[in-house]
Structure 1
Amino acid sequence: MLFAAMTFTIGLQAQIQTPQPSPFQKTEQKVGLTDVTLEYSRPSMRGRALYGDLVPFDKIWRTGANMNTKITFSDEVEIGGTALKAGTYAIFTKPGASNWEVYFYTDSNNWGEPSEWDDSKVAAKVTVPAQPMTMEVETFTISFDDLKNDSAILGIVWGKTYVGVPIKFITDKIMSSAIERVMNGPTFTDYYAAAVYYFQADKDIKQAKEWMDKAMELNKKPAFYQVRQKALIYAKAGDKKGAIAAAKESLRLSKEAGNDDYVALNTKTLKEWGAM
């Protein structure tokens, strides 16, 4: 009975979880068409001096706490002029007073730094400035900043220091390939999506206008927001008359749909174009 009681007590104790001093964080972010997953542990300052003390200058740092800080890309990306294949990488850094070296390491299963650093496992390396901040961030944070269709900044923040790592994405390559693939037998949706993408990405606006016209030929009852995109593409292509006609049609359709946001958008645009 005593043994059974001890076993029960030990089992009960093993089920108790305590808060971690450096809690785990998992962030999922889509950039353009690429899925990015970031996993890391977040230490806090707790009154300690950071860089040059707790985190020494000019030495490899795990960039966080506990297991490796890991980043996973669903597609190829570019960092520091180096193409990085889709996959998972550990992020290591070498902090300096003015600049940081940031490493993307193929072995991501270490607790802290690797026991033996292997330069052949460095898939990409970039040197970026350490930017001082006026505010102080207590808990170590990595974020995705300045998001665009084909780029993002991986922001590393702790204390009064911000380090931004530029990452380029192959969104245009993926999108262009998809457009080329479907144009053998495109639907309204294909033409429409291709036109809007070309418009938003500042690509060939004449091609965007052509695709939008084909989309509208295939869909006799487009929605108000789709006609709105047609108006914007026409305006950018220099067809003001066609743009005004499309904006008026979008305004009519948005009123019928009871969408006040698009009523306001179209009204404002028509006024700017001198049509109201």
Structure 2
Amino acid sequence: MTAKKVYFVFFLIISQFAFSQWESRDIITNDNITYPETSKLAKISQTIGITEIDIKYHRPAVRNRQIFGNLIPYGKVWRAGANESTTIKFQDDVIINGNKLKRGVYGIHMIPNKTEWTIIFSNNHVQWGSFYYDQNEDALRIQVKPEEHAHIEYLKYDFENLKDNSLNIALLWASTKVSFKIEVDEINSTLDVIKDELRTLPRFSWRGNREAALYCWLHNTHLDLALELINRSISYERRFENMYQKALILASTGKGNESSILMEEALKLGNENMFLYVGREALGHHNSPKKAIELFKITLKYFPESYKAKMLIGNAHGWMGEKEMAIKAFNEALLLTKNEKEKTNVMSYLNRYKN
């Protein structure tokens, strides 16, 4: 290999190494070099309902020091981490320990004490630590009780007690834990997003309007809006999905005769599997097992020999933790099966609940 070729290969190797080192880093915009921080940056994120919650903070270590009441004095504002402000971002409006807080980004500060802590959500999230903290910039203050906890060397935030529409955020460091509850109004937050989305492409399709109407019906809310949306869906294309949906909405608003007429039309456009699919939507996509059971029972009204409808009713009861009801439904589904393949299908569900 010639000297030129050796040099060229060496250049390619060095170039590739340099690219691999910097391809994932930001462009340098100041005259500082990059070096490891003592308190490492951390980011955590969690979604409840459709609301994303993001926390960004730095993690100091205990390092054999007495933390609260010494390194972090009682009665003084603390940055709730290290380095620049700890921040929390809410994608939508939230409720914190019963107090409403608007969507946005907030700086978190805390005032530790032996028996009670103050947690502060500041409108100023860009300051360095708590050195220039100004109470006039507070968006919310809450009081919480500290708890004893197993030793945590590096400060951390964690999401606990996760539910569909709520969770607890906990700060853990040394032998102390403090936490507060976050709740979201899932239905109204989702409807706000749906209304915005219906200003765009979904508005001009049967599917987008029908899915929005389905959400309203599943949560028994804004049924007047649901009727408006489903009528728009039908105006674009008359299909089983929207005719069936309109029949359901009318039944829920006390218009039984009109609902029955539309249901007959839906039957001409659909079949057993199409009826079952709507129930599966409610169960799987929308986490609405009670409404799913209602839909599977409607399927049985028009298709009384449907072993699948009974089986899916069992699945919905199991979803809710109602083991006995699930087993009962699966056994009823077995009585409707017509061959070994169908029996095997049901037994695959039933066996999950036998032990």
- TM-score, length of structure 1 as denominator length: 0.72
Per-residue deviation, 1:20 = 0.8
2:144 — aligned with what? 128
What is the number of equivalent residue pairs in this alignment? 245
The superposition leaves residues 59-98 of structure 1 with CA deviations (integer Å, 9 ceiling, x where unpaired) of: 1110001111111111111013221112111111111111
Kindly indicate whether the alpha-carbon contact (under 8 Å) linking 1:102 and 1:126 is maintained by their aligned counterparts in 2: yes
Cα–Cα, structure 1 residues 136 and 214, in superposed 2: closer, same or farther, change >3 Å?
A: same
SS at match of 1:67: coil
Q: Which has the higher contact order (CA 8 A, sep 6+)?
A: 1
- TM-score, length of structure 2 as denominator length: 0.57
Flag the structure with larger Rg. Answer: 2
The superposition leaves residues 130-184 of structure 1 with CA deviations (integer Å, 9 ceiling, x where unpaired) of: 1012x21110101111111111110100000011111112224446885216673
Cα–Cα, structure 1 residues 161 and 233, in superposed 2: closer, same or farther, change >3 Å?
A: closer
The superposition leaves residues 199-248 of structure 1 with CA deviations (integer Å, 9 ceiling, x where unpaired) of: 3xxxxx4x442234457889x99799966534547969979764533478
Cα–Cα, structure 1 residues 140 and 244, in superposed 2: closer, same or farther, change >3 Å?
A: same
CA distance in 2, matches of 1:161, 1:115: 26
Tell me the percent identity: 24
- Aligned-partner residue type, residue 122 of structure 1: D
2:260 — aligned with what? none
1:156 — aligned with what? 171
CA distance in 2, matches of 1:149, 1:23: 31
Alignment of 1:89-238 (within 5 A): 89-113=106-130, 115-119=132-136, 121-133=137-149, 135-174=150-189, 179-180=215-216, 184=230, 185=242, 186=245, 191-195=279-283, 197-199=287-289, 205=290, 207-213=291-297, 229-230=315-316, 232=318
Alignment of 1:33-52 (within 5 A): 33-52=50-69
**Comparing both structures, which one devotes a greater share of its residues to helix?**
2
SS at match of 1:266: helix
Cα–Cα, structure 1 residues 103 and 238, in superposed 2: closer, same or farther, change >3 Å?
A: same
Cα–Cα, structure 1 residues 40 and 116, in superposed 2: closer, same or farther, change >3 Å?
A: closer
Q: CA RMSD in A?
A: 4.1
Q: Which blocks of at least 5 consecutive residues in structure 1 are unaligned?
A: 1-10, 200-204
Q: Which blocks of at least 5 consecutive residues in structure 2 are unaligned?
A: 1-27, 193-211, 217-224, 231-241, 246-273
CA distance in 1, matches of 2:87, 2:33: 28
20, 25, 30: which one aligns with 2:37: 20
**Comparing both structures, which one devotes a greater share of its residues to strand?**
1
CA distance in 2, matches of 1:40, 1:190: 44
Kindly indicate whether the alpha-carbon contact (under 8 Å) linking 2:317 and 2:326 is maintained by their aligned counterparts in 1: no
Kindly indicate whether the alpha-carbon contact (under 8 Å) linking 1:228 and 1:247 is maintained by their aligned counterparts in 2: no
